[in-house]
Amino acid sequence: MSKEDRRSRLTDYLQEHPFLTDEELSEEFDVSIQTIRLDRSVLGIPDVRERTRILAESNYASVRAISSGEIVGELLELDLGRSATSLLNTDETMAFSKTKLVRSHFIFAQADSLALAVIDSDRAVTGLSNAKFKRPVVAGERLLARAEVLRPRAEGESVVLVETASGGRKVFRGKFVVATKIDEAPAGEAV
């Protein structure tokens, strides 16, 4: 494949898969990481962190139920009331020191906050969840979570499916019943 063909293919490929690292791209195109970096530079394509940041910034303003700072991971795509995607870059601060395995509450928090973010309502809270951890996650893995609003369960409730993968392998699957009709306790009264 010529340099021009590779660069054209790289541009198209990154349109479909914007979250791939230079290392993953070098494997896909069977060239060195340095070649991928040079190609990106010539084409004016930013690195994966900058591509992720640009996509995330454009989505945060649409979230209604929670504030953008409460989303665990970076919000990459949001079709309010339908689907959403987030990316969590794990590191050793999220893992057990002895095993380097990421603590489950980080994986769950990414999924739970994404389930709330996708809801098209000013208020939402998780009422019920059914979570399955499919395999351990090692610190350093990138977790891509996808949420889909499956159906309304009852008036004021929705069922949201969240599946999280790393390197194309599923690590988590959860169904969340998200309530949007929330009764408030009177001021000064314990809940």
Residue type at position 187: A
Counted domains in the chain: 2
**Cα–Cα distance between 123 and 111 in angstroms, integer?**
17
Domain-embedded: residue 186: no
- Examine the domain organization and report whether 110 and 21 are in the same domain: no
- Examine the domain organization and report whether 105 and 19 are in the same domain: no
- Examine the domain organization and report whether 37 and 67 are in the same domain: no
Cα(first)–Cα(last) distance of the chain, in Å?
A: 66
Range of the structural domain that residue 13 is part of: 3-45
Domain-embedded: residue 188: no
**pLDDT digit of tens for each residue in the chain (191 aa)?**
888 899 899 988 888 777 788 988 999 899 999 999 999 988 888 888 777 666 666 555 567 677 777 889 988 888 989 999 999 999 999 999 999 999 999 999 999 999 999 998 888 899 999 999 999 999 999 999 999 999 876 788 999 999 999 988 999 999 999 998 876 545 555 54
pLDDT in tens, 13-63: 888 777 788 988 999 899 999 999 999 988 888 888 777 666 666 555 567
CATH of residue 98: 3.10.129.10
- Examine the domain organization and report whether 136 and 170 are in the same domain: yes
**Cα–Cα distance between 63 and 59 in angstroms, integer?**
7
CATH of residue 14: 1.10.10.10
Answer for the pair 172, 114: CB distance below 8 angstroms, yes or no. no
Closest to 13 in 3D by CA, of 2, 24, 174, 138: 24
- Examine the domain organization and report whether 18 and 112 are in the same domain: no
- Examine the domain organization and report whether 163 and 108 are in the same domain: yes
Domain-embedded: residue 187: no
- Find all residues with CB under 8 Å of 66, minimum gap 6, and list them: 113, 116, 117, 124
Residues in the chain: 191
Quickly list DSSP for 47-101.
PHHHHHHHHHHHHHTT--SS-GGGSSSEEEEEETTTEEEEEEE--GGGB-TTT-B
Domain-embedded: residue 67: yes
Backbone torsions φ then ψ of 55, nearest 5 degrees: -65, -40
